[in-house]
Amino acid sequence: MLFRVWTSRDDTPPESKTPVDRQEPKAAAPKIGLALGGGAARGWAHIGVLRALTAAGIVPDVIAGTSIGAVVGGAWAAGRLDVLEEWARAVTKRRVLGLLDFRIGGSGLIGGHRLYDLMHAHFGGVAIEDLDTRFAAIATEIGSGHEIWLTQGNLTDAIRASYALPGIFGPVKVAGRWLMDGALVNPIPVSPARALGARVVIAVNLNADIFGRGTVIQSLSVDADPPAEEPVIEDVPNRGIGRIFRLQRRVNRDVVGDIRGPGGITAVMVDAFNITQDRIARSRLAGDPPDLMVAPKLAPVGLFDFHRADEAIRLGQEATERALGEISEAVAALR
């Protein structure tokens, strides 16, 4: 199905365009917008945010999501948040490994087909334009660097394009464009939420507690550090259950990393990506700040700790409950 995409640069003649703010609304004019940021496993906190908001009677009319924010936001908009939450709370380390279809060669370490099949089983052929909530999944076009807003077409394909982390998942072809993770251009999509009609935008920053204190170290000695201790490597048989342990150890080393060092190439690459994402988010938020910000304290939750959904959801809910007074005042001002 063809997607409608909005890019940061468009060659369409002005007279042929329909401005975003003149699109025909689905029912009533949207008022409350939610901008759900990227952050891998920390994104389970978005579930807690949505639970706390809806419990307080604050229901978003617009959701713009980047990466894991698109996953959770899309699930809520499609009425599948209960299913996603149940699955997330049941995730174990072994179950995560079962979804990682590693491959050699290609443009990503993980094929992503198993994860896609799982989402497709729950979302099926749901189209974004048929959702009751206005929704946009944010992606980045390879080559041009365009910021793409996926606002029509198959919901599962839009979500998959939005979380296609470079080097981990291969890019996704949508409407003739090769797309990857939207966090490269808009980690916390405030501007799409506002452009789609939201008068009050609530942003959820998953990385504020991790990178928020980043600064400049102006003087650092380059004296050599003492040699690091060599880790003890146990000999595990390369058969049966031993093969599973070998695979898990390799994933822990290359993907999750090691507290004694920078970790494997994948862990270093992902950490570099998240530092870049944080700096981009700061610039974007400075230029187009949200009306309200929710920043869960997610430092204890690692990027690949998908098995810690209970904790992340709780932290998201707690952060939102702390901000409910301010959010309620802003929403009341609309009425």
Is 314 in contact with 42 (CB distance < 8 Å)? Answer: no
- CB-based contacts of 262: which residues, under 8 Å, 6+ apart? 268, 271
Is 203 in contact with 190 (CB distance < 8 Å)? Answer: yes
What is the 3-state secondary structure of 41-77?
Answer: HHHHHHHHHHHHHHHCCCCCCEEEEECHHHHHHHHHH
Quote the CA–CA distance of 36 and 202 in Å, as a whole number: 9
Asked if 305 is an active-site residue, the reply is no
Catalytic option among 181, 288, 291, 305:
181
Q: How many CB atoms lie within 10 A of CB 325?
A: 10
Quote the CA–CA distance of 203 and 2 in Å, as a whole number: 29
Catalytic option among 67, 162, 254, 305:
67
Asked if 67 is an active-site residue, the reply is yes
Catalytic residues: 67, 181
